[in-house]
Structure 1
Amino acid sequence: MTFALHPDVSTADTEYGIVLLDGRDGRYLQLNGTAATAFRALLDGGTVEQAAERLTTTFDVAPDRAGQDVERLVAKLVALKVVAG
């Protein structure tokens, strides 16, 4: 699955992660540092597995937990229509 940010969604890095602004309805979404790491990996063209691997090398998290977390993040972002995947 290849990820692409919706054209009406912009991002801003913060000291706590990333904030996404959906220009269609003014909704803000804040991703914490862990979610931001996975999000960046996905937007860089990585797979869910590669994003999970990045989490395990950056944070103290088990591989199976990282995979589940990335899958949940993907599902949420797709459901909110801020990314196309």
Structure 2
Amino acid sequence: MTFALSPDVSITDVGDGMVLLDERGGRYFQLNETGALVLRRVLAGVAVDAVVAELRDRHPDAAGRVADDVSGIIDSLCAAEVVVR
């Protein structure tokens, strides 16, 4: 599955995370380091399963919840219409 940033959304890196501005409604979204990594990877065309595997390797203590967390991030961004499938 491929993902793209909605045309009216801009991204700014801040510290370890990022901020997204949806210019249609003036809404801001802030992503922490993990959320930013997920978004960067899927926008680059990396498969969701590969992103999950990468995060499991980085955070073995959280391996049991990584898949749900990644899905939650993607689902939230899609529901807010800042990312499209």
Q: Answer whether TM exceeds 0.5 for this pair.
A: yes
Determine the C-alpha separation between the residues in 2 that align with 1:55 and 1:84. Answer: 22
Residue identity (%): 44
In structure 1, C-alpha distance between the alignment counterparts of 2:35 and 2:80, rounded to whole Å? 15
When normalised by structure 2's length, the TM-score is: 0.89
**1:19 alignment partner, SS class:** strand
**What is the SS of the residue equivalent to 1:20?**
strand
Output the amino acid matched with 2:51. Answer: A
Unaligned runs of 5+ residues in structure 2 are none
CA distance in 1, matches of 2:18, 2:59: 17
Q: What TM-score do you get using the length of structure 1 for normalisation?
A: 0.89
Q: Gapped runs of 5+ residues in structure 1?
A: none
Shift of 1:59: 3.6
Map of 1:70 onto structure 2: 70
Q: Once superposed, what is the RMSD of the aligned Cα atoms?
A: 1.3
Match of 1:30 in 2: 30
User: Any runs of at least 4 consecutive aligned residues in structure 1 with deviations exceeding 4 A, and if so which?
Assistant: none
Cα pair 1:21 1:29 within 8 Å, conserved: yes
Number of paired residues? 84
| Structure 1 partner of 2:3 | 3
Q: Over residues 16-39 of structure 1, what are the superposed CA-to-partner deviations in whole Å (9 max), with x where a residue is unaligned?
A: 301000010110000000111111
